Structure 1
Amino acid sequence: MNKAAFYELIHLPKIHDTRGNLSVIEGDTIPFEIKRVYYLYDVPSGSERGGHAHIEQLEFLIALSGSFDVVLKNGTSETIITLNKPNIGLLIPIGIWRELQNFSSGSVCLVLASDVFAEEDYIRDFEDFELFKKGISKT
């Protein structure tokens, strides 16, 4: 994990071939067992995705095609990561707010998740996220 412990960029193995490149995710390529796979595509120009944090779930994002920005917030600071290479993925730890924006035409975002969908794992309100980061429960 980088010094801010916000995220980690992971370079996936890239097998060069004159017929086209191939990248593989297996074994310990990423630090969790994949329990869910989904992808975002045909995102209209100017639209945003994400806008949430996870309490327990890790996610690994890859721009399979095109590019997009991932805005990450940890409660005290913010960083923007541009994903635009299919052999570099972004590991997002638990408790990090994410917003995906600036999707290029034809972009595809692949998401590998450490758990199946569970609505109770999502923090969808930024004010609730700020309370969560301060250790305050909204009840």
Structure 2
Amino acid sequence: MQIGPFSFLDGDMSVGEGARLCGGVVFDGGLRIGAHCHIEPGVTLTRGAKTSSGAAPVVIEDRVYIGAGSVLSEGVRIGMGARIAAGTVVTRDVPPYALVSGNPAVIEGYVQSEAQGPIPELGASPQRTVGAHRCSVAGVAIYNLRRHEDLRGALCAGEFPRDIPFQPKRYFLVFDVPSSETRGEHAHRVCEQYLTCVNGSIAVVVDDGRQREEITLDHPTQGLYIPPGVWGIQYKFSSDAVLLVFASHEYDPADYIRNYSEFLAERGVSR
């Protein structure tokens, strides 16, 4: 651990191997810092997070970068590999590998890997040819369904399982989501999903623990197939976005993996 000059650290605190806290860091309260984190000068924790008062500590998971002058509110958790831009005010939990900035913090994107920076925005498909197009993430596929159009309007149809690779048992719609909000943030153990944005646009991040890719869904002829064992995130909702999701299984809370570290462990990925 390296702690720079003019830092003030008080309260219940633990710091992981290889973490670096630059000068002028002020933390007054409960704090957990993971391994190989980098915290730039002038980062502060808002008062009131002392564990003696019963408030939860701030938790910074492994390999997090926090830019100079950022402020962390009491009790927030910053997921592994996240990147916090300079001057950001973090008032809520930050998902793993998220890129956040602003006051209050909003998610601007996701990190492709520790070395590579932001995920490239690939769009739904380089060409709108009908059929399935594989992604770099294991098992994930982008579907372009056939569009039929005449003077009466346009129609798009798909059949299960001929056009979409499973027989659904459930569907749900997601809409009226504020643009700053993030949905999903989980994986399934057995359930398959097919996502299509029937109105507006959204961005979907898919992650198998080794590869991560961002896909834009912005047309009702486009769909995204997500198999079990893939972490999914939806964000950048347009104000008019309506997301339709078909699921291969009925709702089962036990099928969800909601913790990213647990997801990596089940996938056999070490970080």
Same fold (TM over 0.5): yes
Aligned residue for 2:212?
78
SS in 2 for 1:71: strand
The structure number with the bigger radius of gyration is 2
Q: How does 1:24-39 map to 2 (within 5 A)?
A: 24-27=157-160, 28-39=162-173
Question: Which residue of the other structure, out of 93, 117, 133, is the alignment partner of 2:227?
Answer: 93
1:1-139 aligned within 5 A:
2=134, 4=136, 5-27=138-160, 28-134=162-268
Structure 1 distance, partners of 2:201, 2:173, is 13
CA distance in 1, matches of 2:269, 2:140: 21
Cα RMSD, aligned residues only = 1.6
More moved, 66-75 vs 13-22 = 13-22
- Distance of 2:154 and 2:163 partners within structure 1: 17
Q: How many positions carry a matched residue from both structures?
A: 136
Cα distance in 1 for partners of 2:165, 2:185 equals 24
Shift of 1:13: 2.3
Specify every segment of 5 or more residues in structure 2 that has no aligned partner in the other structure, as ranges. Answer: 1-132
Residues 3, 21 of structure 1: CA spacing in aligned structure 2 closer, same or farther, 3 A cutoff? closer
Shift of residue 18 of structure 1?
1.9
Gaps of 5+ in 1: none
Q: Is the 8 A contact 2:173 2:243 kept in 1?
A: yes
Taking structure 1 as reference, are residues 82 and 18 closer, same or farther at Cα in structure 2, changes over 3 Å only?
same
Structure 2 CA distance for aligned equivalents of residues 31 and 84 of structure 1: 21
Report the 3-state secondary structure (helix = DSSP H, G, I; strand = E; otherwise coil) of the residue aligned with 1:21: strand
Secondary structure class of the residue paired with 2:262: helix
Q: Return the offset for 1:15.
A: 1.2
Deviation for aligned residue 1:40: 0.3
Contact 1:6 1:74 in 2 (8 A): no
Shift of 1:6: 4.2
Query: Which deviates more, 117-126 or 12-21?
Result: 12-21
What is the alpha-carbon distance in structure 2 between the residues aligned to residue 69 and residue 15 of structure 1?
25
